[in-house]
Amino acid sequence: MPPSVIRVLGVYDADGGVRGELAYVVGKVLGRRHCSLCDVTHSPVRRRRGWDALVTTLGVPVRVAHRNELGAAEADAAHAAGLPVLLGERADGSFTVLVDATALEEAHGSVDVVGRLLRSALADPPA
């Protein structure tokens, strides 16, 4: 049985900061940028209450970050998995993919769908 996940890390396929956020919004309006994790965690104007409620039920801390806000090990794991992604961090510092970019895209912004996927992956983490 693989080691338990001690933390969930969601990584957006976008940069943080004023410049990064502005570039994403403009790109989204023009149809050039899209992040399916953003669609799950945020409505057009703010964080989704459903996402915040989900996070409180998972039993492990959850952090979401933009790709330019990651430490080296986090960035390596996220980029190897493909962005956007929900990763599980283990006590030894290793990462495993809990919900990949394809599954996030197929969720079409549904917090419920992503919640089911996350709960399943946390109950039986990938090796």
Among 19-28, 48-57, 81-90, the range scoring the smallest mean pLDDT is 19-28
Entry pTM: 0.88
Q: What is the rounded distance in angstroms from the CA atom of residue 63 to the CA atom of residue 74?
A: 12
Instruction: Please give the pLDDT value at position 1.
Output: 47
Nearest Cα residue to 99 out of 81, 112, 73, 123: 81
Q: What is the rounded distance in angstroms from the CA atom of residue 24 to the CA atom of residue 17?
A: 11
Residues whose CB falls within 8 Å of the CB of residue 14, separated by 6 or more in sequence, listed in order? 20, 21, 23, 24, 33, 35, 38, 66, 67
Nearest Cα residue to 48 out of 34, 38, 61: 38
Query: How much is the mean pLDDT over the chain?
Result: 89
Asked whether residue 27 carries a pLDDT value surpassing 60, the answer given is no
Residues whose CB falls within 8 Å of the CB of residue 124, separated by 6 or more in sequence, listed in order? none
